[in-house]
Amino acid sequence: MHRGAKTMGKHVIVGTAGHIDHGKSALVEALTGTHPDRLEEEKRRGITIDLGFAFLDLGDVRLGFVDVPGHERFVRNMLAGASGIDLILLVVASDESIKPQTREHFDICRLLGIERGIVAITKADLVEPDVLGLVKLEAEEFVRGSFLEGAAIVGVSAKTGAGLEELKRELVQAAAAIRGKDAARHVRLPIDRAFAMKGFGTVVTGTLISGTLRVEDEVELFPTERRLRVRGLHSGGRAVSRAEAGQRTAVNVADVETEEIERGMALATPGIFQATQRIDARVTLLPSAPTLKNRARVHFHQGTAETVAAVNLLGENALAAGGTTLAQLRLDQPILALPGDRFILRQFSPLVTIGGGVVLDALAPRHKKSDLGAARLLGAWERGARDGILAALAFEDSRGLDMAQIIARTGWLETEVRATIQKLAEAQKIRVVVPQPPMVISTEEMDALVREAEREIDEFHKKNPLLPGIAKEDLRGRAAGRVKPEVFRAALDELAAQRKIVVTGDVVQRAGREIALSVEESRAKEQIAQEFECAGLAAPVVNEVLGKLPVDSRRAQKLLQILIREKTLVKVTENLVFHAAAVKHLKQLLAAYKKGKGERLPIAAFKELAGVSRKYAIPLLEYLDRERLTRRVGDERVIL
């Protein structure tokens, strides 16, 4: 490792929250030395409009600040910033106390599942100490029953610097308790900004919420699913060779114009995820929200993305204030989402936050009413245990699941998928139909498939007693049309291993089953063979031979087919059949003729040689042509 590349111990993203003008940006500046407002308009109007960023190293913790606007018109910008936050710095001005966006921002943080934070009572220099004490009490009351209950409440002044040291101490302490984002998982970076930088090209920024990015890595841009190359990385204001989950990260991407990227898109590990427009989720409404009707359209915010969603309540006609339910969300625009992602719902008019939820199935199927597989799966997603989820996925998908499908659906690492498969296979909940790369199917599905195949094989034997067995493709069409070919193959292997079937080439038959001919049938078969053998090349008329048999004509036909399949008889045309011995004899005659008289064979000579009439001579010669024993040249044959 080269000098200066010393990695920071821990990266924690701190997001501000609170009402307009309560001193969020001023506090970030007082803490970090960087004023987060960057836009000309922000400076002119003295308010924050869009997200701002700053950094502070405290001991071995690097805090990345995301400063959000308090104005109610810019809540959507606040939402884009709030998604990657580990720690909330809830700002309440001591001269105003709790105001509407204090509530809305705090609701959002709760719905996003943020687990830790600190309350800063700002502008302490503007009020008497007893007022400050009163506002602290109000803040304490305000967060009671939430994740911030018991959190530090610190009075500060950006102007005098009072309380800043205490606030820093509290930040370090809170940061120590943060679980930290996982650098070993798949890469995900929800983009909050894209801009052009002279000499570099396109740069995107965001909080790397998962995984590790390195220079020269390939990434996939969602939802466009385009592959891009990482040309350079910046974090905390300096060039780095790699960035880890939890860091504010600027990515210089090659192969793309700045205009082609916007906030809401995301970078991810290439080739494993799919953008989605249909999500199953648990949705929760705020106590302050109006009733949500089934199929209502709302604003949907997830990561830095924003789109419109129709909320299909599963099993309910309406969701009352404070209530929770399972729902399927249909998104107007595709996004990259994964199970466990949080989202926020806002009403159209008036534009207020009404609720939010957690993604259960990001690639949800359409639900039919009383869909057992879907209900199982949703239950498993909610419980969150990997083995339960994979078992339910396998049950829901009756075609067979492969590694790529499982990862796209779950976001798990390959090692996690393998471990889960092993656990479930040992518990006999799933069957591994291909070991490498793994493909699985639920045991229920495999058992049903095996039973179905057995039934079809038996049925076939019953309907076709004189045929040896069913062709594989026919069986697949009847019993296993829905499953992947690998699964069908595994089902046959399983039946064969249990010695229930025998597979010979393309034919599947019940084990121990011979073509069972009755004594009468065996005799009739023998009789056919004999008649043709005796006749030699002067073959008898097929229907006459069959007509003389003591079995019905359908059976007689089958017996003829068996003899042909056994190659006892040779079919020259539909109505002209010879015994194999006769054909063999004919070949010998041809060879002898060629030796004695040369290769040219006029039709008349052939008739004489074979001792057959013209009626037989032509089809026989055509047969010999097909068999490449002779070749037609004008009116003659050449013996090959």
Binding site for ligand GTP (CB under 6 A): 20-26, 46-48, 69-71, 122-123, 125-126, 157-159
Cβ atoms of residues 328 and 278 within 8 Å = yes
Cβ atoms of residues 211 and 183 within 8 Å = yes
**Least Å distance between CB 88 and ligand GTP?**
14
**Rounded-to-integer distance, Cα 337 and Cα 408, Å:** 10
Q: Which long-range contacts (C-beta less than 8 Å, at least 24 apart) are formed by 447-453?
A: 449/479, 449/480, 449/483, 449/487, 449/488, 449/491, 450/491, 450/494, 450/495, 452/479, 452/480, 453/479, 453/480, 453/491, 453/492, 453/495
- CB nearer to ligand GTP: pick between 29 and 396: 29
- CB nearer to Mg ion: pick between 43 and 565: 43
| N-term to C-term CA, the chain | 77
- CB nearer to ligand GTP: pick between 67 and 456: 67
**Least Å distance between CB 117 and ligand GTP?**
16
- CB nearer to ligand GTP: pick between 47 and 535: 47
Burial grade of 117 (CB within 10 A; 0-12, 13-18, 19 or more) = buried
- CB nearer to Mg ion: pick between 39 and 640: 39
DSSP states along 174-193: HHHT-----TTS--EEEEEE
- Binding site partner of 159, from Mg ion, ligand GTP, none, Cβ cut-off 5-8 A by kind: ligand GTP
- CB nearer to ligand GTP: pick between 49 and 638: 49
- CB nearer to ligand GTP: pick between 54 and 586: 54
**Least Å distance between CB 67 and Mg ion?**
6
**Least Å distance between CB 435 and ligand GTP?**
57
- Binding site partner of 157, from ligand GTP, Mg ion, none, Cβ cut-off 5-8 A by kind: ligand GTP
DSSP letter (8 states) at residue 126: G
- Binding site partner of 434, from Mg ion, ligand GTP, none, Cβ cut-off 5-8 A by kind: none
- Binding site partner of 21, from Mg ion, ligand GTP, none, Cβ cut-off 5-8 A by kind: ligand GTP
- CB nearer to ligand GTP: pick between 27 and 392: 27
Q: Which residue is listed with tokens 């060039």?
A: 239
Q: Taking the CA atoms of the chain, what radius of gyration do you get in angstroms? A: 39
Structure-block tokens of residue 325: 């339910």
How wide is the angle at C-alpha 171 spanned by C-alphas 355 and 159, nearest 5°?
95
**Rounded-to-integer distance, Cα 518 and Cα 529, Å:** 17
| Phi, then psi, of 133 in degrees rounded to 5 | -60, -40
Q: Nearest-CB residue to ligand GTP?
A: 70
Helix ranges (H only) for 36-163 are: 40-45, 75-82, 100-111, 129-143
**Least Å distance between CB 143 and ligand GTP?**
18
**Least Å distance between CB 122 and ligand GTP?**
5
**Least Å distance between CB 41 and Mg ion?**
13
- Binding site partner of 629, from ligand GTP, Mg ion, none, Cβ cut-off 5-8 A by kind: none
- Binding site partner of 26, from ligand GTP, Mg ion, none, Cβ cut-off 5-8 A by kind: ligand GTP
**Least Å distance between CB 18 and ligand GTP?**
6
- Binding site partner of 71, from Mg ion, ligand GTP, none, Cβ cut-off 5-8 A by kind: ligand GTP
Cβ atoms of residues 473 and 458 within 8 Å = no
- CB nearer to Mg ion: pick between 42 and 361: 42
- CB nearer to ligand GTP: pick between 55 and 273: 55
- CB nearer to ligand GTP: pick between 33 and 113: 33
CA atoms within 13 A on the CB side of 51: 27
- Binding site partner of 22, from ligand GTP, Mg ion, none, Cβ cut-off 5-8 A by kind: ligand GTP
**Least Å distance between CB 270 and Mg ion?**
37
Cβ atoms of residues 537 and 610 within 8 Å = yes
Residues that bind Mg ion (CB under 5 A): 24-25, 48
**Least Å distance between CB 16 and ligand GTP?**
7
- Binding site partner of 235, from ligand GTP, Mg ion, none, Cβ cut-off 5-8 A by kind: none
**Least Å distance between CB 36 and Mg ion?**
7
- Binding site partner of 220, from ligand GTP, Mg ion, none, Cβ cut-off 5-8 A by kind: none
Q: Is 119 helix (H, G, I), strand (E, B) or coil?
A: strand
- CB nearer to Mg ion: pick between 81 and 211: 81
How distant, in Å, are the alpha carbons of 253, 275, 328, 620 from that of 577?
74, 63, 66, 10
How distant, in Å, are the alpha carbons of 47, 87, 249, 295 from that of 64?
21, 10, 10, 39
- CB nearer to Mg ion: pick between 44 and 462: 44
- Binding site partner of 452, from ligand GTP, Mg ion, none, Cβ cut-off 5-8 A by kind: none
Structure-block tokens of residue 75: 């809540």
Closest CA to 235 of 245, 253, 247, 223: 247
**Least Å distance between CB 158 and ligand GTP?**
4
- Binding site partner of 123, from Mg ion, ligand GTP, none, Cβ cut-off 5-8 A by kind: ligand GTP
- Binding site partner of 23, from ligand GTP, Mg ion, none, Cβ cut-off 5-8 A by kind: ligand GTP
Based on DSSP, count helices (H) and strands (E) in the chain, helices before strands: 19, 34
- CB nearer to Mg ion: pick between 41 and 520: 41
**Least Å distance between CB 22 and Mg ion?**
9
**Least Å distance between CB 15 and Mg ion?**
12
**Rounded-to-integer distance, Cα 400 and Cα 491, Å:** 12
Burial grade of 135 (CB within 10 A; 0-12, 13-18, 19 or more) = buried
Q: Is 18 helix (H, G, I), strand (E, B) or coil?
A: coil
**Rounded-to-integer distance, Cα 589 and Cα 581, Å:** 12
Q: Which long-range contacts (C-beta less than 8 Å, at least 24 apart) are formed by 232-235?
A: 232/200, 234/203
